[in-house]
Structure 1
Amino acid sequence: MNNKGIKISMQILLIGEFSRLHNSLKEGLQKLGHEVVLVGNGDLFKNFPTDVDLSVKTCNKPVLLFFRKAIHKLTGFDIADFEVAYKFHKALKHLQGFDVVQLINEDALYIHPRLQIPLLEKLFKQNKNLFLLSCGDDFVNINYFLKEQEPYSILTPYLNNIKLKKQFRYCLKYVTPAYRKLHGFIYKNSCGTIASDMDYHIPLKGNPKYLGLIPNPINTDIIEFTPCQITDKIRIFHGVNTLSQIKKGSHFFTKALDIIKETYPDRVEIHTTYNLPYKEYIEVYNQAHILLDQVYSYDQGYNALEAMAKGKVVFTGAEQAWLDHYNLEKDTVAINALPEVSKIVEKLEWLIENPKCIEEISKNARAFIEKEHHYLKIANSYLKIWGTHIKN
């Protein structure tokens, strides 16, 4: 143990990966001398690295895929859950004796609770100290946002139009009886919950299991910073994922860009893409000065943070609660994207008319990531919270 109560070298098991958070945390922990094993499915097409791969392969073969889709359409159940469950069960004999186990989310294995709870129960019996991340949708934040206690949230489009229920089924599943049971089971067996940003911190305030906010880790060692230098047209990028466009409020950006295109035809170069393959997406993304990320958030998600680390001016969540938490002035590090077309247009016009502000925000964004999200600093923050709350 060192003077902070943290073991000199810990064995840490990270379960799940949806954004690169656990990969960046793993890199930080390993650099600090700890042993880390990461279990996950690579988050589908993103293919994030894992040590124990739970990705679906057999059920995606042509013949089985046909039956998989047919069964899912008829019953709502995905038979691929059995493949993931089998792989995790097979790996369980190696997943024991860790000092810390952390789940990326309440649905870390991304399989139905009826299969997930027995597997987690075995995992918990083999390892004493379980921690949960509130990172993405879960019972606490979806239940909180359904009560409309904030001006807006990721559920605002659904709350304004319940006909969108199908598009929000993956959010709303967390308040169904099965996932409520999963939530209760994990909370009962965990040492506590850590929030990864303000969107998850706000719903957890006052929760007896809440251990605090630790920002997303960003490995700036592998992200090159390119300062924005405006020599010709200002390049604006809006990469739309049609599966998440309603949740992200993409239509506000689309309408705002239509106005900007008419107002500044000779001063801006606008790239709007839809479901672009990752390699092509990055090529366009890297050329941009301004990146339009999402509207219904209070803090930045992983995509926004990595863009800020590269020196992009990002329209994203940057609400007053976030400014207060980091002691920042508005529009100095990121642009708060409100769900109002006129407000987005106003901010874009300000930047177009004042290109020096783009260059300044670009530098500030990188400096902010290095100060508040550096992966070694964040790894140390996890070690401190784990060390305080582990059961010896």
Structure 2
Amino acid sequence: MKILLIGEYSRLHNSLKEGLVKLGHEVTIVGTGDGFKNYDIDYSIYPSFILKWWLFTKIKNGLSKTIGYNAEMTEKGIRFYKLLPKLKGYDHVQLINSDAVQTHPWLEIKLYKKLLQQSKQMSLLICGDETPIVDYNLTGNLKYSVLSAYLENSRLKGLFQYSLKYTKKNYRRLFEWVKDRSNVLITSDLDYEIPMQRMGYTTHFIPNPINTDLVKYNQPEIRDKIVIFLGINRLSYIKKGIRFFEEALKIIEHRYSDRVEIIITENVPYKEYIKLYDGAHILLDQVYGYDQGYNALEAMAKGKVVFTGAEQEFTAHYRLKERVAINALPNTESIVQELSFLIENPKEIEAISKRARSFIKKEHNYIKIAEKYLNTWFE
């Protein structure tokens, strides 16, 4: 069958493609590459014309400040429109988000209409911000979420514009339009499954696919210092609670200066990012999660001890008796305690590393996950 995957924010669609191809299907990914992350895609809608030339970038910024017009969104829409003749005859189309093309919502609906006229069916994957997810997180009914910092301090509103856009009338209309025309809604982890269920939606929960054929296990060897890695993405800095990690690392560096090496990087492309943490024993991912996102899962597959979402809901869902990751809380002292325990008990790093790899192979195998997608799309 021919499968079209639109959007790529984390390598989720690439891993799904690899699983589907293994099963004998033809798969195409359309997207921007997601900025500096530069994920692999087959057809690009990256707004290179606007962003390549200094003058056009300056004009774009001026229009955005004066009248709120986003020229990048327009170029993405135009590029997708020009691709439509090549995007015919697909048995299934999956959007990684209702705003998968990242153009103006009114234009996006028109583009999806044309796309559906030349393809058989469509599904919506919910693996990040989306209207019902943001709506539920704004209620404050969860003990914490990626919007916790905003709920605690509304003056941070400007830093949450990407998430809050989904509450606007035009994005609500876009989500409803896509939802009504999707044969299934799929969630990728519990951070989205829990809100969707509580908002009354019928969803299919399919864990993120991880290609363990490509992501090799690296048995941790602690011969000298324990290496701790923190990769910072400034766009998601507050949403992921990175400040708690930074505060904890200052304490750890002072307390264990002769026993740890700390590596911090910022805004690096995906392929460089995964190489940079290869030699690390511990990876700090995020604090406002219940389950693991793609980056955390891939690091776990490599055998890293990952500080991320691993709440009771997660351990209960997978019926885990031992830790496969560290549940990182939005509390500096808690993170310090967890790091201190691992530094003083390095054998636990080796044990968690092995369990993490086994967990990924069992629950996130990219071929088995691809089969689940197929069964869900065409049930």
TM-score category, normalised to shorter length: over 0.9
Work out whether 1:316 is the aligned partner of 2:297. no
Aligned mate of 2:37, from 29, 40, 46: 46
2:244 is aligned to 252
Deviation at 1:50, TM superposition (A): 1.8
2:344 is aligned to 353
Aligned mate of 1:369, from 352, 360, 377: 360
CA contact (8 A) 1:124 1:189 kept: no
Gap regions ≥5 residues in structure 1 = 1-9
1:69-120, Cα deviation, whole Å (9 max, x unpaired): 1111222221122221112112212323221110001110011202211111
Aligned residues: 378
Aligned mate of 2:334, from 310, 335, 343: 343
| Equivalent position amino acid for 1:223 in 2 | V
1:4 is aligned to none
2:47 is aligned to 56
CA contact (8 A) 2:37 2:269 kept: no
1:26-71, Cα deviation, whole Å (9 max, x unpaired): 1110110111121111112222222221111111122211111111
Q: 1:250 to 1:139 in 2, by over 3 A?
A: same
CA distance in 2, matches of 1:89, 1:249: 38
CA distance in 2, matches of 1:379, 1:277: 26
Deviates more, 1:109-118 or 1:144-153: 109-118
1:208-252, Cα deviation, whole Å (9 max, x unpaired): 653311011111111121111111111111122222211110111
1:327 is aligned to 319
1:136 is aligned to 128
CA distance in 1, matches of 2:48, 2:34: 13
- Output aligned runs, 1:86-101, within 5 Å: 86-101=78-93
CA contact (8 A) 2:37 2:268 kept: no
Aligned mate of 1:80, from 46, 66, 72: 72
CA distance in 2, matches of 1:258, 1:68: 40
CA distance in 2, matches of 1:39, 1:86: 14
- Output aligned runs, 1:112-131, within 5 Å: 112-131=104-123
2:212 is aligned to 220
Work out whether 1:284 is the aligned partner of 2:276. yes
CA contact (8 A) 2:137 2:145 kept: yes
CA distance in 2, matches of 1:144, 1:279: 34
**Secondary structure of 2:307's aligned partner:** strand
2:160 is aligned to 168
1:6 is aligned to none
Q: TM-score, normalised by structure 2?
A: 0.96
CA contact (8 A) 2:77 2:102 kept: no
**Secondary structure of 2:306's aligned partner:** strand
CA distance in 2, matches of 1:158, 1:74: 26
CA distance in 2, matches of 1:49, 1:276: 15
CA contact (8 A) 1:211 1:385 kept: no
| Equivalent position amino acid for 1:163 in 2 | R
Percent of aligned positions with the same letter in both sequences? 53
**Secondary structure of 1:315's aligned partner:** strand
Deviation at 1:18, TM superposition (A): 0.9
CA distance in 1, matches of 2:292, 2:271: 23
Deviation at 1:16, TM superposition (A): 0.9
CA distance in 2, matches of 1:384, 1:267: 49
Gap regions ≥5 residues in structure 2 = none
Deviation at 1:13, TM superposition (A): 1.1
